[in-house]
Chains A and B, each alone.
Chain A
C-alpha cells in the first residue's frame, strides 16, 4: 500500500478508534451511545445556529493547529500555543479597548497585528533560548504558558481594570463581529475571523512550499547539520520558525478577543484551544490543508458536545476523552502503520 494512502488512513482509523472507544465508555457508564452520537450530530448540523457556532469554534482551532504544525514542520515542538494565544488575546483586547477614536480600517488591523506580535514575542523567547543555549523548547514553552496565564491575569486585574475580573468590551471599531453572518446563522457568534484563518492557511502553505525561506525552514527541520553545511543560518531559522508559529497562535487569541468574546477575562486555567491545536496539527498531518479538516472535526466535536448533556444527558467531557484518545492513536501511528502493512501484504498473497 502506498505511503501516501497510509498517511491518510492513519488519521481516519484513529478517529474511528476514538469513536469506538467513546461508544464503549458510554455503554459501560450506562448511557445510550446512539442517543449520544445523534445529539452530537444534531449539535453540529441540527440548526443553522449550530453550524455558525461550529465555524466560529473552528477559526481559532485552525490558527492554533497552524501554529503547532508550522513549528513541527521545521523540527520544533511548540507546546506554548496556549500561552501565545493568551497573550495574543490580551494584546488584541488591550488595543481594542485603549483606542476609541481610530477609524475601523486602522483600528481593527492594529488590534490583529498587536495579537500576532504578542504571540510572536512569546514564541521568540523559546526560539532564542533554543538557538542560543540549546534549551529544549518543549519545557520552555510549557513554562511560558504558565507565565502567560499569571501575567495576563495580573495585567487584567491591576493595569487594564481596577481589580475587576474582566476588561471592558472592545471598541466597535476593533471588533470582528459580523451582523451579516449573525443574521445568516440565526444570531450565532460567527465573525469575520474565519477569513483571517483561511488567509493564514494560504500563507503557511505558500511560505513553506513556494519560497526559498520556507525551503530553508523545512531543511533545518529535516537535518540541522546538513543545512549548516549548505550555508544556511540554522539559529536564525529556528528563531524565525518559533516567531511565525507564535504569531499564528497570537492570531488565534485575537479571534477569541476580537471576535467571539469582545473582552479578556481572568482565567483560572487554560482555554484548552492551544492544547487541542496539537491534536489538530497531528491529525492534519502538519500540512496546511490537513489542519483545516482536522480543525473542522475538532470544532464540530466541541460545539456538538454542548448539545449532549441537554439532549442525551451525557456529560460533554466525553468528547474531550475522545479527542485525547484520537491523539493517542495518531501518535501511535507506528502501530497502525504496521497493522496496515500486515493486512495489505496478506491481501496480495
Chain B
C-alpha cells in the first residue's frame, strides 16, 4: 500500500472523526470563555445525537436528502435547551459548575434512554436511512493528488466544521460581542463595572455551547454511529473538552487539537489495516488524547492558561 493510498484512507476518516469534536469544542469555548466550566458537553452531545436520530427516523421521507441537515438544526435547539438547565443551575443558583455538568451528563443519558424505550420499546433505535453520505466535493476534487486525498469520497460536515471554527474565531476575537464574552470570563467584576451584563453574557455563552455540542452529537450520530443507544456517545464530549484545553481555549487551537484527536481515533479504528501502524496496540492510540491533555496541562507542551474567572460564580458586590 503506497503512502498516498494510506493518506486517501486516513485523511477523510480523520476529518470525519474530528468534525463532532470540533463543533463540540467550539461550543465549549463559548461557555468556558464566559467563565462557566462545561463538563456537561458529553450530555449535550447525547441529547443532540438522540434528537437528530429520532428526527431523522421520523422525517426521512419528508425531507429526503436534506434530512440530516434539518436534524442538525433540531439537535442544535435541543442541545441549547438542555444547556439552559446548566446555565440556570450554575449561574443563577450558583451551583458548583462541575457538579451541575456531571448532573447534565447523567440526566441526558437517563432521559434519552428512557425516551428511546418509551418510543421504540427497545434499548436502541433503528439505523437511519438518510445519513451524511460520502461525497466528492465539486471542483476541488479535480485538483491533482490533494483532490484525491482531501476532497474525494469524503463527507460534508468536516468542511462546515472548519469553516465554522474560523467564524467563531472571528466572533470571539474581532467583534464587540466576543470581547464582552471574554471579559466576563476573565474579570467579571471589571466587566460589570463597564456596564456589561455578566449574567446575560454567561447565559449566552452556555446556551451557545449547548447548541454547538448538540450539533456535534448530531453529526456523530448521523455520520458515524447511524443509530442511538447508550454507547453512541462515549467520551466524545470529554475528548472535545480535552481538545479545548489542548488548544488553549482558542477556537482555532481547539480545531487543531480536535483534528489531531480525530486522527488518533481513526487510527485506532483503521490502524490495523495500515502497514505502518498494524503493530501498535490500539490501546496506545485510544488513550493518546487523554494522556496528551494531561501532559499539556502539566506544561510539558506549553503552558495553557484557563480564563481567569473560570469556575467561579459571579456574585454582585462581592470582592
Contact = CB atoms under 8 A, between A and B. Distances in A.
Contacts of A77: 98
Interface string A1-40: 0000000000000000000000001000100000000000
Interface residues of B, number: 47
Contact of A269 (B98, B234, B281, B286): B234
A20 to B, nearest CB: 16
A267 B299 CA distance: 32
Most B-side CB within 10 Å, residue of A135, A147, A317? A317
B111 interface: yes
Contacts of B230: 269
Number of chain A interface residues as a range: 35 or more
Given A150-B283, A315-B118, A328 B89 contact: yes
A87 to B, nearest CB: 13
Interface in B258-309: 281-283, 286-287, 290-291, 293-294, 297-299, 306
Contacts of A139: 241-242, 245, 293, 297
B98 A317 contact: no
A291 B102 CA distance: 18
Contacts of B110: 317-321, 323-324
Given A268-B231, A320-B110, A331-B95, A151 B102 contact: no
Interface string B75-119: 000000000010001001111101110111111011101110110
B235 interface: yes
Contact of B234 (A136, A147, A268, A334): A268
A143 B89 contact: no
A158 interface: yes
Contacts of A138: 37, 39, 98
A77 B106 CA distance: 18
B290 A331 contact: no
A320 B283 contact: no
Contacts of A269: 230-231, 234
A181 interface: no
Contacts of A136: 297, 306
Nearest to B95: A331
Contact of A325 (B107, B117, B294): B107
A29 B118 contact: yes
A154 B281 contact: yes
Contacts of B290: 143-144, 146-147
Interface in B199-237: 230-231, 234-235
A327 B106 contact: yes
Contacts of B241: 139, 142
A343 B111 CA distance: 33
A275 interface: yes
A147 B235 CA distance: 11
Given A142-B238, A331-B100, A334-B93, A129 B114 contact: no
A333 B238 CA distance: 26
A153 B89 CA distance: 36
A139 B306 CA distance: 12
Contacts of A92: none
A97 interface: no
Given A79-B102, A150-B286, A334-B93, A129 B109 contact: no
A160 to B, nearest CB: 14
Contacts of A135: 294, 297-298
Interface of A: 25, 29, 77, 79, 129, 133, 135-136, 138-140, 142-144, 146-147, 150-151, 153-154, 158, 268-269, 275, 278-279, 282, 315, 317-321, 323-325, 327-328, 330-335
24 contacts: A129-B298, A139-B297, A144-B290, A150-B283, A151-B283, A154-B282, A268-B231, A269-B234, A275-B102, A275-B105, A315-B114, A315-B117, A317-B111, A317-B113, A317-B114, A318-B110, A321-B107, A327-B102, A328-B107, A331-B89, A331-B95, A332-B95, A332-B100, A335-B92
Given A79-B102, A332-B89, 4 more contacts: A269-B234, A317-B110, A324-B106, A331-B103
